[in-house]
Amino acid sequence: MTKNSIWVIIPAYNEAKKLPVVLQKLNKQGFQYIVVDDGSSDQTLAVAQKHSEHVLSHKINLGKGAALKTGCEYAFSKLNGEGVIFFDADDQHEATEIELFAAALEAHDVVFGVRSFDENMPLIRIMLNRLASVFLMLLFGSYIPDIPSGFKALSKRAYKQVAWNSSDYSVEMEIAARVAKAKLDFVTIPVTTIYHELDRGMTFIDTLKVLLRALSWRISL
């Protein structure tokens, strides 16, 4: 798998302020990327179009899972991609670490980025994060740390087996569940922990809803 066969997928919803910085960093790394504007009400779409010719847009907000799927279908079906790397639009990933994911895709079907559970991550996030991993292990037999992390990668072969139905943030849990269920070859790599806004992300109630949904996946997948 070469650098030219890998596409970075960036789902973006109302990220006009952070997106320019993210795309400038990606341009320095030389990776090809696709921005999926998920029905933003700000200037996200216009910002994306200034930086890339590969910009897709949902007319309404469908959710992160839907945006990722739109990007993957475009990368694999229209651009002949062999692998994709998911990269959030809120500047909470380190662009220089994309190289690590690209290298890992040469030997593995799935790559999960794992942040450090240190003082940079709020305690409640650490607790909910580990709860999700333990729950997944009990249901599907594989321990995958830092499931909520949006920094991950899939080969084309893996995508065909894990193509998800979740349209919202539960997509992260569903991908992990499908990877574990299919016993796909995956690897984890450490990534930088960055938080700009601690009040963003999944809440305790959100996590409980995702865990309950995972119970249904145990039966249906």
pLDDT tens-digit map of 7-39? 999 999 999 999 999 999 999 999 999 999 999
SS3 state at 8: strand
6 close to 102: Cβ distance less than 8 angstroms: yes
Buried b (16+ CB within 10 A) or exposed e, 100-117: bbbebbeebbbbbbbbeb
Angle between helices 204-220 and 171-182 (to 10 degrees): 30
Taking the model in full, what pTM does it have? 0.91
Q: Strands 110-115 and 186-191, how do they pair? A: parallel
Res. 117: pLDDT tops 80: no
Q: What is the pLDDT of residues 189-210, one digit of tens each?
A: 999 978 655 445 556 667 777 7
- Strands 152-155 and 55-58 come out as unpaired
Nearest-10 crossing angle of helices 44-51, 19-29? 20
Q: Is the pLDDT of residue 69 over 80?
A: yes
pLDDT class for 129, splitting at 50, 70, 90?
confident
With H, G, I as helix, E, B as strand and everything else as coil, classify residue 66.
Answer: helix
* Nearest-angstrom CA–CA distance, 56 and 77: 14
Cβ 113 vs Cβ 146: under 8 Å:
yes
| 25: helix, strand or coil | helix
CB-based contacts of 167, cutoff 8 Å, min separation 6: 62, 63, 64, 65, 66
Note whether 38 and 12 are within 8 A (CB): yes
Q: Is the Cα dihedral 118, 127, 97, 2 positive or negative? A: positive
Yes or no: say if 85 and 153 are a contact pair by the CB < 8 Å rule.
Answer: yes
Domains, the chain, ordered by start: 3-220 (3.90.550.10)
- Rg of the chain, C-alpha, whole Å: 16
The CA distance from 179 to 76, in Å, is 19
Q: Is the pLDDT of residue 119 over 70?
A: no
The whole-chain average pLDDT of the chain stands at 90
Strands (E), the chain: 6-12, 32-38, 55-58, 83-86, 110-115, 152-155, 186-191
- Start-to-end C-alpha separation, the chain: 29
**Rounded CA gap, 205 and 90, in Å?**
22
